[in-house]
């Protein structure tokens, strides 16, 4: 068992690590939007090609919504298990899995945009970014994995 000051240093390091990961993954959403804007074909090319495939986009929206919803369920389970076992590594695993599932939603948006060039695909970018933003690591959550409840 570590002493109180060792636990506090470990908690601060873990919290900083989680926040850096959170910021990095949230910033990738902006990179994906930038890529999508830069490679967008001209209006004439879009008119020639046609761009409506609502079934594909609807399937991607359903998949994106489900990945974001599952991310919150899995995060809650991992965090509860981490608090129960006083195992911060479980907390970090749950955090990474949750944020990556939200990142998948953004990737579904990128795929939908490239496949259909329908502007509604940007909804998936926003949904994924919102999911990542809501997964911001809080000190209380991390502390629960370090200190057993009395």
Residue-range definition of the domain harbouring residue 97 = 4-146
Q: How many structural domains compose the chain? A: 1
Q: Assign residue 50 a region: left if phi > 0, alpha if psi is -120 to 50, beta otherwise?
A: left
Return the axis-axis angle of helices 4-38 and 122-134, rounded to nearest 10°: 170
Structure tokens at 94: 């749950």
Q: Tokens at residue 42, please?
A: 């001209």
pLDDT band at 2 (very low <50, low <70, confident <90, very high): very low
Q: Are 95 and 72 a contacting pair, CB within 8 Å?
A: no
Q: Render pLDDT for 80-104 as a digit per residue (tens, 0 to 9).
A: 999 999 899 999 999 999 999 999 9
Grade residue 40 by pLDDT with cuts at 50, 70 and 90. confident
Could you report the per-residue pLDDT of 7-25, keeping only the tens digit for each? 778 889 999 999 999 999 9
User: pLDDT at position 54, please?
Assistant: 85
């Amino acid at each position: 068992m570590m002493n109180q000051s060792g636990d506090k240093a470990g908690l601060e390091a873990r919290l900083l690590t989680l926040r850096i990961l959170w910021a990095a993954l949230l910033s990738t959403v902006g990179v994906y939007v930038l890529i999508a804007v830069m490679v967008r074909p001209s209006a004439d090319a879009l008119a020639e090609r046609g761009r409506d495939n609502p079934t594909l986009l609807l399937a991607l929206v359903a998949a994106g919504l489900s990945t974001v919803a599952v991310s919150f369920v899995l995060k809650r389970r991992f965090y509860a298990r981490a608090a129960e076992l006083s195992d911060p590594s479980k907390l970090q695993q749950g955090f990474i899995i949750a944020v990556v599932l939200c990142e998948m939603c953004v990737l579904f948006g990128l795929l939908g945009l490239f496949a259909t060039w329908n502007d509604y695909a940007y909804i998936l970018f926003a949904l994924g970014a919102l999911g990542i933003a809501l997964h911001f690591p809080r000190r209380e959550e991390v502390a629960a994995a370090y200190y057993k409840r009395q």
